[in-house]
Amino acid sequence: MRSFASDNNSGVHPLVMEALNRANSDHAIGYGDDPWTEEAVRKIRNAFETECEPLFVFNGTGSNAVALQLCTRPYNSIICAETAHIYVDECGSPARMTGCQIRPVTTPDGKLTSDLIRSYLCHFGEQHHSQPGVIYISQCTELGTVYKPEEILALAELAHRYGMYVHMDGARLANACAALNLSLKELTVDCGIDILSFGGTKNGLMLGESVIVFNPALKKEARFVRKQSAQLASKMRYLSCQFTAYLTDDLWLKNARHANRMATLLHEKLRVLPGMHITQKMESNQLFLTMPRPVIDELLKTYFFYFWNEAINEIRFVTSFDTTEKDIEELLQSIKKLL
């Protein structure tokens, strides 16, 4: 099966699988006191060019929950786009784990701006109201759009002015870096991000993410929050060794560039077909569009993909590091035939 539903559906990159096989030798001390984890921590600090605190966890929801717990107390509120993963796709886990109120903001393209959130920055010091504590952004957004550095920096400056933190969900951060031709540091540390969920599962890893703590004020409790959140792996080496492979010879960037390139190819071929309407600016490896419902229904018999807004026949195609030009051409031929 070749899927365009999500980059989560792709396989594991061979170099990552090799790293897992190398780590699967002899015994090693658990819970991160092993040479693979030490090497992965060094790799991450080198990649982001800062003395950050990387914490390896099992999955994306867990990484967001850990990061947001570090930034908040239960009386805080978390400001995010109404399309945000923590608001739509995580079954209320961040709200449950933090105890915080989540304040969704309507956006046209999935991106928060200072103007959009300014009205939510109120009631500071009033005991009857949740206290704004965190601005959460996704890079790339759930609509496939990409924050530019100046946009992130503006949000961070606003948040810090009010004593708040900024948490970036970087499940597709690699795709954003590839789209903007910028480094990991330039899209995070240099923009004032306090804490990052650094994902790789969508870009060639088997499983796992890393919560990367940049703000020194958040480091003290980080390991305790990870443990209490059931995100501390005993056989840590199998999570961490993947990041060593991922950050060696820019594998993360090569994979993301390929995924983005395949999405661009699909976009260019689809947008000229009759009955097609691209609904979001195509900036990464996600493509949002509408097409006639009979075509969608027939296509679903052969391909797996998701509706984004079924009421208007809007669907989403996502390309991966292992999507091929043949995959794109076969999908296009199927659509053309149905049209």
The CATH number of the domain holding residue 287 is: 3.90.1150.10
Query: Quick one: 74 and 217 in the same domain?
Result: yes
Q: Which of 243, 234, 230, 237 is nearest to 201 (CA)?
A: 243
Mean pLDDT per 10-residue interval, the chain, length 339 residues = 88 97 95 96 98 97 97 98 96 96 96 96 96 97 97 98 98 98 98 97 96 97 97 97 97 98 97 93 96 94 93 96 96 93
Query: Quick one: 84 and 191 in the same domain?
Result: yes
- Convert 104-150 into a string of H (helix), E (strand) and C (coil): EECCCCCCCCHHHHHHHCCCCCCCCCCEEEEEEEECCCCCCCCCCHH
One-character DSSP codes across 55-115 = EEES-HHHHHHHHHHHH--TTEEEEEETT-HHHHTSTTHHHHHH-PEEEEE--SSS---HH
Query: Quick one: 309 and 240 in the same domain?
Result: no
Per the domain annotation, does 8 fall within a domain? no
Query: Quick one: 202 and 266 in the same domain?
Result: no
Query: Quick one: 234 and 255 in the same domain?
Result: no
- Structural domain range at position 225: 15-247
Query: Quick one: 163 and 261 in the same domain?
Result: no
Query: Quick one: 124 and 191 in the same domain?
Result: yes
For the chain, the domain total comes to 2
Query: Quick one: 197 and 279 in the same domain?
Result: no
Domain's final residue, options 247, 269, 293: 247
pLDDT tens for each residue of 5-28: 999 999 999 999 999 999 999 999
pLDDT tens for each residue of 206-239: 999 999 999 999 999 999 999 999 999 999 999 9
Per the domain annotation, does 2 fall within a domain? no
The CATH number of the domain holding residue 150 is: 3.40.640.10
